[in-house]
Structures are given as structure tokens and as C-alpha cells.
Amino acid sequence: MDNFADKVAVITGAGSGFGREFARLGTKLGMRLVLADVEHDALDDTLAEVTAAGAQAIARRVDVSNGEAVDALARATLDTFGSVHLLFNNAGVGGNGGLVWENTERDWQWLLGVNLWGVIHGVRAFTPLMLDAAKRDAGYRGHIVNTASMAGLLAPPLMGPYNVSKHAVVALSESLYQDLSLVTQQVACSVLCPYFVPTGIANAQRNRPAELSNDLPPTLSQRVARALSEKAVSSGKVSAAAVAALVFDAIRDEQFYIYSHPHALNPVKTRAEDIVTPRNPTDPFAERPQVREQIVAALNG
């Protein structure tokens, strides 16, 4: 896809971070936008900004973990614009982290509900619409972008549920790529694997449903994980806007894997070597033993 003007883009998680930047760039490219987010005020802010800049856009408050809500988003897209060309399955949350066995069932339900089921619902609801459009129009081009993470290619400590969710998104995206190749050349897909980028994900607890909140306060390991995450995300040097530009370039080139920090692939290579050698997982702090010492000390109070 090399012409975005008048094309329809559906963006989940549009209220902040990558989602808002996708909307901003889509506006500059003359796209029509369907914006979705669970955070009403942030969603309204994005809608006001893009419409003021001249975009045709609608906004819907959507909890992507709810399949019926995503189905309704698909219907609203067709009712308003008649088609969809780009789908950004982008909504995501960070979770509590910490030692993996200390995460509650509610922690897992919330994080997998948004990070994994949100992408599943998006693929399930919108892919058939794209394939139908492709059958009706030989000139139609569609593209799906699923937001995963470098944590979908690695397994860093104190991030178990998040790692699981993002590994699943990478696997789902690779499966989608292979399945699409069997039935069409008009619909493509990509998986976005960003590293640490300053977005609102470190504060995602603000949107956690009350029914999935924990009765007890965070454990020591979860507090340590949260502090590490907040520091890493806030210190990121690559902006969400820069990542959005990379994504649109990848859509133009039909590039599947999208990385915000190519240098972060070195640990991915090491992990692949661990698997095929085979050998036990390499210490992620092998080159920074003082970091391991600090974390161990923190976990021991």
C-alpha cells in the first residue's frame, strides 16, 4: 500500500502513545479514521485534534477484551465509511509484573484480555471484511498491524504475564501472515516490536476495571518491577511519533517485522542460539552484573 489518501484506518488504543501518533500521521496522509480506546477523555482529545486538522473521523469507547464490543466497532466502521484498509490492533497494558507466581488470576485475566484477546478480536472481526473487499475489487489493498513488543521475542525477568501476552501476539501475527499468503496477495500484515518508548503504558493501571482489581496491595517484587519499568520507559530516546513513521514505511514496503530499536535484536539472536544449541537461557544481565545484584538486593528487601 503506497497511497493512503481517503483510505480508512481503524486504530485501537488511539487515546495515547502509538495509537495517537498513528492517528496524527494518518490525518497528515489524508486518511479517514476510526478511533477506539477504553479511556474516554483521552479518546475525545485525539478525536478533537484530528478533526481540527481536517480528518474525517469517528470515535468509539471500546474495551478490546470484549469481543462483542470489537464486533460493534467493525459494524460502525462499515456503517460510517463502507470499508476498512488499515487495522492497528494497538491497545495494550503493562500489568503488575513481578515474580511470575505472584501474579493473581485477575492480573492474568486483565493483561491477556487486552494484550492478546484484543488482537484476537481485531483479527477475527476485521480480516473477513478486508478479504471480502479484496474479492470485490482487484485494486483493493489492506494491511493489519499488530502491536507486540521486544518482550514478544525475549523473556526478561519480572515481566512474565506481559512476556506471555506479547509472545502470543507475535505467534498470532506470524500465523496470520502465513494464512493470508494462502488466500490473497491483497491483504498483508505486520507485527510491531517496540523496545522502551515513552508512552502511557507504564501507567495503564489507571484503566484497569474494578472487577479485575486485586484485593491485596502489590507484592515487593511487583513494586520492584514497576519501578524498573517506569524508569526504562521514561528514559526511552525513540519517540512514539518516530515509531509511527517507521510503521507507515513498513506498510508501504509490506515489511512484516518492525523494530523501534534494531540494536535490541542482539539478545534475540542470543535467545535463538540458546534454543537451537540447545543450552540453558542466557543471563540477561551477563554484561551488566551490577544490575542483577541491585535487583536481587531489592527483592530481598
Q: Evaluate whether 13 touches 92 at the Cβ level (below 8 Å).
A: yes
Select from 250, 185, 241, 242 the least CA-distant residue to 2.
250
Nearest Cα to Cα of residue 163 among 112, 232, 231, 204: 112
As annotated, the active-site residues are: 162
Amino acid symbol at 270: T
In the sheet that holds 142-147, the strands lie side by side as 57-61, 32-37, 8-12, 86-89, 142-147, 187-193, 257-259
The H-assigned helical ranges of 60-116 are: 67-81, 105-115
Residue 147 backbone phi and psi in degrees, to 5: -85, 115
